[in-house]
Amino acid sequence: MKHERASLPTPTSTHSFWHSEPNEFLLGHRTTPELPAEADIIIVGSGITGTSAARYLAEDERANGKSIVVLEAREACWGATGRNGGHCQPLLFDRTPDVAEFELKNVATVRSYIKSNNVPCEWRDVSGCRSFWTEEAMKEAEKEIEHLKRIAPEIARHVTTLKDKEELKKHRVAPDCVGATLSAGAASLWPYKLVTFILKKLVTDGRINLQTTTPVTEVTSSDGKHTLHTPRGTISSKTVILATNGYTSALLPHFADLIVPVRGEMSALFPPKNCTLLPDSYGMVAALGQNANSDDYLIQRPFEGVPNPAGHLMFGGGRGYGKLPSIGVSDDTVIDEAAAKYLRGALLKVLELDGETEGVEELKPAAQWTGIMGYSRDDHPWVGKVPDKEGLWLCGGYTGHGMPNGTLCGKVVVDMVLGEQSGEDLSALHEQMVKKGDIPRSYILTQERIDKARGLLTVRQQDAQGVRMISVV
């Protein structure tokens, strides 16, 4: 079966609320007026993954003296990280324990960086409340939690099941919900502000050369070097890290069936008048007649102590109500009006929003936009060296769940790159990393994993059959 490649990021896009307070220093930023002809390491993409990779390179003495160039097709952090739901929520029971542990560690790492650098990105530690709207979806969750209790009790202790109506009410979940789970260790944030804080610091510290609005149109390889073609000329390097997520197959055509672009709908909604702050971040599974593989997701911005403190409800999803294709779509210039309408109305039904809701049928949007996720065929990110492409590395394919993964995936790919450059055997390094808990084995990119993934249903087939692929951005 032929799989269509992703397109490059479109030059313009729908207006994400997260870009309403842009980092002026980074707008149109090019550290050098001309694109350098070469660099020791090139990173393509400036979202959470590419920026984390750049930061870990800058912090690692093995990379001292190496020139690092970051290329971005649009403005800095203008792809999925600048368009997502603002969650940093580990999934603890629908993953294997090593993945759950990795995600908890990832959130702790992000939290630690934000606290130690006083990053003004609206970080709030919350519980993750996931509500289930069919008996079948709730039963499946309970079965997974019971299994987790048996095999990893130390992770299971972070998860509570709620079915009592009074308990659900405390978490503002509507009473006709079947049940919910509460997971510790989640957070909400303004992702664009975190990433641009890191990027600006790296640029002003002289650690990276950032070139925005410089799309890579093609990668050609010869004599152990990769040449990246852009409308501004070419740049070459022996080491290239693709942090391109949903757009990966635009540059790696043979990954078209492994990381598939999927368009998601997001909104920033004004809460009802006199509404108070919700206690959690939320995921809604199979809400209002949608399939169990169509999650909705919500965080709330603060009402005080930040610029524009309006308590916006940052609500995404509604794929089950959308009328436009989403699987295999890498165009975020378009809003799916049917999904957007669903988002404007759904919170009044799935939550007990307080304040003045009498007669309100839709919440007023401050912004509505779309973003492109990268769905992985085997539901795990791809981290490592691209087979048969010496010096070409990949880190992406988060299936709408990049914030609790991207930071440490960026670190791991850097450790692989620098480890191999220091003469370490890559397979031995993989084993060492898995043993230390630095990366789940299921994330490592190998030819064997590629072959195995190609034996699974395609992303499109999985979606059509309602196979549960997580999307809690």
**CATH number of residue 141's parent domain:** 3.30.9.10
pLDDT band of residue 3 (cuts 50, 70, 90) is confident
Report pLDDT digits (tens) over 374-430: 999 999 999 999 999 999 999 999 999 999 999 999 999 999 999 999 999 999 999
In a domain, 87, yes or no: no
Residues 344 and 270 in one domain: yes
Q: Note the pLDDT of residue 469.
A: 54
What is residue 363's predicted lDDT score, i.e. its pLDDT? 98
> What are the structure tokens assigned to 60, written together?
């690692």
Asked whether the predicted pLDDT for residue 473 surpasses 50, the reply is no
Domain co-membership, 385 together with 438: yes
- Is residue 19 over pLDDT 70? yes
Nearest to residue 133, comparing CAs of 339, 294, 374, 11?
Answer: 294
Contact 414, 57 (CB under 8 A): yes
CB 318 within 8 A of CB 163: no
What is the pLDDT averaged over residues 313-325?
97
Residue 196, in any domain of the structure: yes
Residue 63 domain-assigned (yes or no)? yes
Per-residue pLDDT, 218: 97
With respect to residue 94, please indicate whether it lies within any of the assigned structural domains. no
Co-location of 144 and 237 in the same domain? no
**Comparing C-alpha atoms, which of 337, 392, 401 is closest to residue 368?**
337
Helix (H) or strand (E) holding 1: none
The whole domain housing 353 covers 125-187+260-376
**What average pLDDT does range 294-321 have in this prediction?**
96
Q: Are residues 255 and 196 in the same domain?
A: yes
Which two structure tokens, joined as six digits, stand for 333?
A: 């210039």
CA distances (Å), 316 to each of 49, 255, 298, 347, 394, in order?
Answer: 21, 27, 7, 11, 27
Domain end (from 376, 397, 428): 376
Asked if residue 355 and residue 298 are part of one domain, the reply reads yes
CA-based R_g, the chain, Å: 21
DSSP state of 36: P
Helix (H) or strand (E) holding 430: helix 426-436
Please name which of 344, 349, 198 lies closest in space to residue 270, comparing C-alpha atoms: 344
Same domain assignment for residues 156 and 213:
no
Contact of 228 with 219, CB cutoff 8 Å: yes
Q: What is the mean pLDDT of residues 96-112?
A: 97
284 & 323 share domain: yes
CA 172, CA 381: separation in Å to the nearest integer? Answer: 33
> How far apart are the C-alpha atoms of 238 and 224, rounded to whole Å?
6
What's residue 365's pLDDT?
98
Total number of domains in the chain:
2
Residue 44 lies in a domain: yes
For residue range 135-158, what is the model confidence (pLDDT) as tens digits?
A: 999 999 999 999 999 999 999 999
Examine the domain organization and report whether 361 and 416 are in the same domain: no
- Residue 1: the pLDDT is 56
pLDDT digits (tens, 9 = 90+) for 426-455: 999 999 999 999 999 999 999 999 999 999
Q: What mean pLDDT do residues 164-170 have?
A: 94
- Is there a domain that residue 4 lies in? no
Query: Are residues 418 and 360 both part of a single domain?
Result: no
In this prediction, residue 255 has a pLDDT band, given cuts at 50, 70 and 90, of very high
- Kindly state the average pLDDT of the residues 306-310: 96
- Rounded Cα gap, residues 360 and 356, in angstroms: 8
Of 323, 351, 376, the one marking the end of a domain is 376
Which of 342, 376, 410 is a domain's end point?
376
User: DSSP label at 429?
Assistant: H
Residue with tokens 């020791």: 40
200-244 residue pLDDT tens: 999 999 999 999 999 999 999 999 999 999 999 999 999 999 999
Q: How far apart are CA 11 and CA 27, in angstroms?
A: 14
**Statement to judge: residues 286 and 431 lie in one domain:** no
Predicted local distance difference test score (pLDDT) of residue 118: 98
pLDDT for the residue 292: 87
Q: Number of C-alpha atoms within 13 angstroms, CB side, residue 33?
A: 0
d(C-alpha 367, C-alpha 348), whole Å: 18
How sure is the predictor about 199, in pLDDT bands with cuts at 50, 70 and 90? very high
> Residue 468: pLDDT band by 50, 70, 90 thresholds?
low
Burial (CB count within 10 angstroms: exposed 0-12, middle 13-18, buried 19+), residue 362: middle
Average pLDDT, the chain: 96
Residue 472 lies in a domain: no
Band of pLDDT at residue 472, cut at 50, 70 and 90: very low
Pair (371, 383) in one structural domain: no
DSSP 143-154: HHHHHHHHH-HH
Same domain, 168 and 222: no
Is the pLDDT confidence value at 87 over 50? yes
AA letter at 290: Q
- Whether 307 is covered by a domain: the verdict is yes
What CATH number did the domain enclosing 239 receive? 3.50.50.60
Coil vs helix vs strand at 34: coil
The larger pLDDT score, comparing residue 448 to residue 470, is at 448
CA torsion 169→173→179→184, rounded to 10°?
Answer: -90
